[in-house]
Structure 1
């Protein structure tokens, strides 16, 4: 995912409250508790084979489809938004919605990445 590859160049993400997420027809947002439950202990696998791992203890890993991993901590905020603070200090917030029975990650710049599969882990 090219968007994730430029994380080192990003400044702190804008507040999710001020963000216009440019949803699409059929997007169903999650309540905070529901999104937290949906992500906790799960790995989201994207179509480029990138993997977002949401540990139950709040730790996070994103591994690119071609290798390389970013580490951080995740938390859910309002409006179906999940924010990750990486060990570099960079924060990234994305909106996760359901559309047509599939999870979709929306980036702050309007890109959309459907989730190919969800893997549970212990």
Structure 2
């Protein structure tokens, strides 16, 4: 009986990501890369992220607030890491929420649901 209990513990994740909600689902690295590469995603605050085929990344702030430039890489734990050309870098968690909508969760824990996903034509 003790052995069965130990097996049950081993099959359970020891530490869930503290940024994610119980209803969030992880996206595999290949699926996330395929979803983002060559795509443009718009957020409810008016910002737009673009993920170019060659690994370039841009984020255009709402209301003509400027554009950040960098390079992105999808990791195996449902994260996308971006190295900005200004020297700043960060890794955000990308999940599907309970409604199946893509949500970006920043390192600080801020959640940004995606309003619209579209492929770019100028890859």
* TM-score relative to the length of structure 1: 0.80
Residue of structure 2 aligned with 1:47, choices 44, 49, 69: 44
- How many pairs are equivalent? 104
How far apart, CA to CA, are the structure 2 residues paired with 1:62 and 1:38?
Answer: 17
Bigger CA radius of gyration: 2
Partner of 1:8: none
Q: State the shift of 1:24 in Å.
A: 1.0
1:3-24 Cα distance to aligned partner (Å, 9 max, x none): xxxxxxxxxxxxxxxx944211
Gaps of 5+ in 2: 1-15
Partner of 1:73: 71
Partner of 2:100: 101
Runs of 4+ that moved beyond 4 A:
none
Q: How big is the alpha-carbon RMSD for the aligned residues of Structure 1 and Structure 2? A: 1.4
RCO higher in structure (CA 8 A, sep ≥6): 1
Gaps of 5+ in 1: 1-18
